[in-house]
Structure 1
Amino acid sequence: MNTKYIWLLIILIGFSACNEPEDVLKGTSEEPEVVVELPALTAGSADFSNYVAIGASFTAGFTDSALFKASQENSFPNILAQQFSNIGGGAFTQPLMNDNIGGIAVGGVQLPGSSVGPRLVFGGAGPVPLSSVIGPVTSTTDLLVNNPTGPFNNMGVPGAKSFHLLFDGYGNLGNLNLGLANPYFIRMASSPTATILGDAMAQNPTFFTLSEIGGNDVLGYATSGGDGSNTITPSAGPPGVGFDQTFGFLVSTLTSGGAKGIVTNVPYVTDLPHFTTVPNNALEIDAATAGQLTGFFQAVAGIFTQVLIAQMVPPAQAQAIASQYAIPFSEGKNRWIIDVPVTQTNPLGFRQMTEDELLVLTIDQDALAQGYGSVALSNEVLQVLGLLQAGGTPTPQQGALVIGAVNGIDDGDALDSDELAEIKNATDAYNATIAAIANANENVALVDLNSILGEASTTGISSGDFTLTTNLVTGGAVGLDGIHLTARGYAVMANEILKVIDAAFGSNFEASGNLVNAGDYPTNYHPTLQ
């Protein structure tokens, strides 16, 4: 009996062993799992053994109005270096800050300015200073105490303009109070007379990225509202002065030893949320106030017509010049008044904003809420105007009241149409130079950062399970300062660079599955991160 069952078991096992895998699945809805074999990662003609990144804020990993350890660790060059390490890339050293507060101190005293202050955090409704959430903070990164020792593979210096990369006093602490040095480069320069390019070349890079050169050359002008305090770098001029020759010298020097590399062009900075978040038609008024304001500005125009006629300007010409000040208002949203340069055609130096003109994110919110300053005292203002119309002479205090009433948004808080044109023209000129130089050098490939950020500002960029836009706070691509990318944005930028490296130099980061997952990187940092 036992023998019979043993033989039966042997027969059943034999039948099972003879079945093909397809037979087991017959009659079921299951399909065999398809395993896609990815090709092995190859470097193509590029040598990633010594990668050096040269640039400004984006290269450094600047975000949320600050540079701090976590942001540096999520910089796009560090993300690239991690992928390069899979195919022969060496160590990638960064000049890490001393904390996650952000900002720089000198002898325990925090340096002033938004570019060297503690980071911004999300305060529930929008960006707020870290100190408003956790209390007073002072950076422990101190130029007199704890500067790191190089050399550094990440030579990104926040705030650097194109010509700063060649300036041999940019890392000299003695030049800081003169406005001729950069605190970020002071803490990483090999000597007080070193240059950014020189310290990069001293490492004999085999591969490089030269990113966002030219961005700060227009950004400073834009963030200052084109008020003249921060001018645009001219295209023409020798290396270290004009953009064209400076950029050409940077590329020829970096490739002189046979290194290959990536250059990026300059985005239209005015597409960034620093310039698109605050609407220029945010003056919302009721019908009574609209009528009052309309009457006020009509009175200004009428009085100015008489002033011009008294100055022997022909009446028709006087009326044409003054008519621009008869600004009509309606119930609901209206556009702000902005200060503009005094010219022959605009002698009073103010007008209403047009649809395409922009306000900066850092505009004084209190002033914005107050609207037109002394217009709140419009009854008194109109009394003064009546006095003028009757031929009377106002007191200096009454005259100041009228001036205050027509004082609009300061020049430093707005970009008018002429200033926007200057920014675009300079950016287009820079990008034409960058493209020409990249196309003329077989060791250089161009990443169109302008198009990438332009796409993010319009349709959004899809990456994995996310669509990143440039909307402030909610978009995911741009940090809380409205200018610099989030860690997730830098990850997307790294992927775009890897794709161009594949196309230009024959590597296969994308095909071999070696792009990064942007979803693994944060869009913001918690206030408790110290």
Structure 2
Amino acid sequence: MIKNYKWLLLLSLTIAACSSDDDEGGTVDEPITAGSADFSKYVALGNSLTAGFSDNALFKRGQENAYPNIMSQQFALAGGGTFTTPFVGDDNIGGLLLGGTQIQGPRLAILGFSGSTPNIGSLPVAPVTEVTNQLTGPFNNMGVPGAKSFHLIAPGYGNVAGVATGQANPYYARFASSSSSTILGDAMAQNPTFFSLWIGNNDVLAYATSGGTGTNQVGNLNPATYGPNDITDPGVFANVYSGLLDGMTANGAKGVVGNIPYVTTIPFFRTVPYNPVPLDAATAAQLNAGFAPYNGGLQVAAANGLISPEEATRRTISFQAGAGNKVVIVDSYLTNLAGLSLPSYRQATAEDLILLTARSFIGTTVGGNPAAVNGLSVPLADSWVLSKDEVAEIKTATDAYNASIATLADSKGLALFDANSLLQQVYNGGIRFGNYHMSASFVTGGAFSLDGVHPGARGYALIANKMLEAINAKYGSNFKGVDPADYQIQYPAQL
């Protein structure tokens, strides 16, 4: 009987000790399991987002914080193997050289402040990464900045000899297995057990960031004839994407795919307002006088049935004293009135998106002439603005791409990362985690880097977590993800 009491006493002490550890935070973590997936060989395919591109450059620290790298560290907890990356030079500056000639610029950084306003510029240090210094692979991170969907199956896309003529990609040229290899082929050759595929952003993004200067290639099924800033035909995208998934799943690999976010959710298109100009009364009157002949010509065109009264009103240009004056833009979607010597001008509306690059251009003068002010007396060219009609074209293409991605992912039994919904959430109010808030605000929001297009380190951590959530839901794994607070908002000038 006394012996039994002794064992009860020992048991009670053990329970007390466990309770004490729990109170101090010493809980036992749940073991990480892979579920029905095998993460022993993970390969990531995609574009600059997969590569870890930030601040308008590819640099080593950014590559280290790429979402596939973050995910691979989580996969390692459930049997994942080594994950290799084709790192650029150790300078952490970014930029590329071809035969000693700089072909890609260094990264952006905050170089100082004017009051509370950050001065953003390129680092004044020459890049040292030479394209011709090819790396020996294979590499698990197959993200290639600039790649569109069809580039992943294009032989010779990594041919160094073709880089100078624009026929090949300098980033892929650094680590392509041969001059005729394809990104898909190099990925398949590694026989992955798990893959991620996030491709298609550039199929609309290049058109958007150029201000819609490319062509919407809907109906053109030959991507070999596309220009660099064109929108890919949805049918071409669907066929290419289907082939990509066929290739990556041929040996039974499982994976996660990401859909395409609306470009209208990123800071590159949401930082510069359409009505940023303050004017005094004299300047407003002077501008109105300058545009009076144009406005009068619109009324003549409407009276003769060449344009509707509604279009005449839409094109009429008017300024007033005070803040909130709208910039004047060129809009090629307006009725052509060249026969009346009337250009296609109008003032921007909230449906138009002014490019981030126009921030330092609006208000400058042409040739030092104070009467020729860009955005006011001199309309902004199409390359500075994404008009509402161009936004609509991009949305139509994006919706078609995403429908194909969802259908094909489901048919292959793959996890789907809804990047479109995530970035809409980041833009519309942001995301809270712990004591932090992440939004799409330029510089300070925490989600995007200084180029306004690509995520920063914290943004990539968020993407990795959301991809892991999609993987957990599909395959029954239980990855916990990382704490985005452990990742910086912006990279400093000196790393």
- TM-score bracket for this pair, using the shorter chain length: 0.7 to 0.9
1:407-418 superposed matches below 5 A: 407-418=378-389
**Residue number in structure 2 paired with 1:207:** 194
**Residue number in structure 1 paired with 2:350:** 355
Other structure's SS at 2:37 match: coil
1:446-461 superposed matches below 5 A: 446-461=416-431
Does 2:207 match 1:251?
A: no
1:126 shift after superposition = 3.5
The two structures have a TM-score, normalised by structure 1, of: 0.81
Aligned-partner Cα distance in 2 for 1:34–1:303? 76
Aligned-partner Cα distance in 2 for 1:403–1:129? 22
Inter-CA distance 426–227: structure 2 relative to 1 (3 Å threshold): same
Letter of the structure 2 residue corresponding to residue 413 of structure 1: W
CA contact 2:38–2:194 (8 Å) conserved in 1: yes
**Residue number in structure 1 paired with 2:482:** 516
Inter-CA distance 234–316: structure 2 relative to 1 (3 Å threshold): closer
CA contact 2:60–2:88 (8 Å) conserved in 1: yes
Inter-CA distance 88–282: structure 2 relative to 1 (3 Å threshold): same
Does 2:135 match 1:148?
A: yes
**Residue number in structure 1 paired with 2:273:** 279
CA contact 2:93–2:106 (8 Å) conserved in 1: yes
Letter of the structure 2 residue corresponding to residue 425 of structure 1: T
Identify which range, 492-501 or 193-202, moves more after superposition: 492-501
**Residue number in structure 2 paired with 1:396:** none
CA contact 2:333–2:389 (8 Å) conserved in 1: no
CA contact 1:294–1:326 (8 Å) conserved in 2: no
**Residue number in structure 1 paired with 2:409:** 438
CA contact 1:64–1:479 (8 Å) conserved in 2: yes
Render the CA deviation track for 1:283-316: whole Å, top value 9, x for unaligned.
Answer: 211122223322332333225656x6xxxx9656
Does 2:44 match 1:78?
A: no
**Residue number in structure 1 paired with 2:296:** 302
Task: Please identify which structure carries the higher helix content.
Answer: 1
Aligned-partner Cα distance in 2 for 1:274–1:262? 27
Inter-CA distance 206–408: structure 2 relative to 1 (3 Å threshold): same
Inter-CA distance 526–18: structure 2 relative to 1 (3 Å threshold): closer
**Residue number in structure 2 paired with 1:11:** none
Inter-CA distance 370–117: structure 2 relative to 1 (3 Å threshold): closer
**Residue number in structure 2 paired with 1:120:** 108
1:34 shift after superposition = 7.0
Aligned-partner Cα distance in 2 for 1:488–1:316? 55
**Residue number in structure 2 paired with 1:386:** none
Find the partner of 2:464 among 485, 494, 499: 494
**Residue number in structure 1 paired with 2:475:** 505
Does 2:97 match 1:105?
A: yes
CA contact 1:105–1:138 (8 Å) conserved in 2: no
Aligned-partner Cα distance in 2 for 1:501–1:318? 54
CA contact 1:215–1:267 (8 Å) conserved in 2: yes
**Residue number in structure 2 paired with 1:330:** 320
Other structure's SS at 2:213 match: coil
Count how many residue pairs are aligned between Structure 1 and Structure 2. 461
Inter-CA distance 32–436: structure 2 relative to 1 (3 Å threshold): closer
Inter-CA distance 265–304: structure 2 relative to 1 (3 Å threshold): closer
1:497 shift after superposition = 1.1
Aligned-partner Cα distance in 1 for 2:165–2:314? 43
Does 2:56 match 1:65?
A: yes
**Residue number in structure 1 paired with 2:205:** 219
Aligned-partner Cα distance in 2 for 1:55–1:18? 58
Structure 1 stretches lacking a partner, 5+ long: 1-13, 25-30, 237-241, 378-400
Render the CA deviation track for 1:45-94: whole Å, top value 9, x for unaligned.
Answer: 11000000000011100000011111111111111111111111111110
**Residue number in structure 1 paired with 2:435:** 465
CA contact 2:374–2:380 (8 Å) conserved in 1: no
Identify which range, 333-342 or 496-505, moves more after superposition: 333-342
Render the CA deviation track for 1:108-153: whole Å, top value 9, x for unaligned.
Answer: 2211xxxx2100001333363333xxx3x22111123x32210000
**Residue number in structure 2 paired with 1:422:** 393
CA contact 1:92–1:152 (8 Å) conserved in 2: yes
Aligned-partner Cα distance in 1 for 2:40–2:283? 68
1:464 shift after superposition = 3.2
Inter-CA distance 519–289: structure 2 relative to 1 (3 Å threshold): same
Inter-CA distance 404–447: structure 2 relative to 1 (3 Å threshold): closer
**Residue number in structure 2 paired with 1:231:** 230
Aligned-partner Cα distance in 2 for 1:362–1:148? 34
1:465 shift after superposition = 2.9
Aligned-partner Cα distance in 2 for 1:497–1:322? 49
CA contact 2:426–2:439 (8 Å) conserved in 1: yes
Cα RMSD for the two superposed structures: 3.0
Identify which range, 418-427 or 318-327, moves more after superposition: 318-327
Structure 2 stretches lacking a partner, 5+ long: 1-5, 17-21, 215-226
Other structure's SS at 2:494 match: coil
Render the CA deviation track for 1:225-266: whole Å, top value 9, x for unaligned.
Answer: 001261101012xxxxx1011011101111110100000000
CA contact 1:373–1:404 (8 Å) conserved in 2: no
Task: Please identify which structure carries the higher strand content.
Answer: 2
Other structure's SS at 2:489 match: coil
Inter-CA distance 276–324: structure 2 relative to 1 (3 Å threshold): closer
Letter of the structure 2 residue corresponding to residue 103 of structure 1: G
CA contact 2:276–2:325 (8 Å) conserved in 1: yes
CA contact 2:131–2:174 (8 Å) conserved in 1: yes
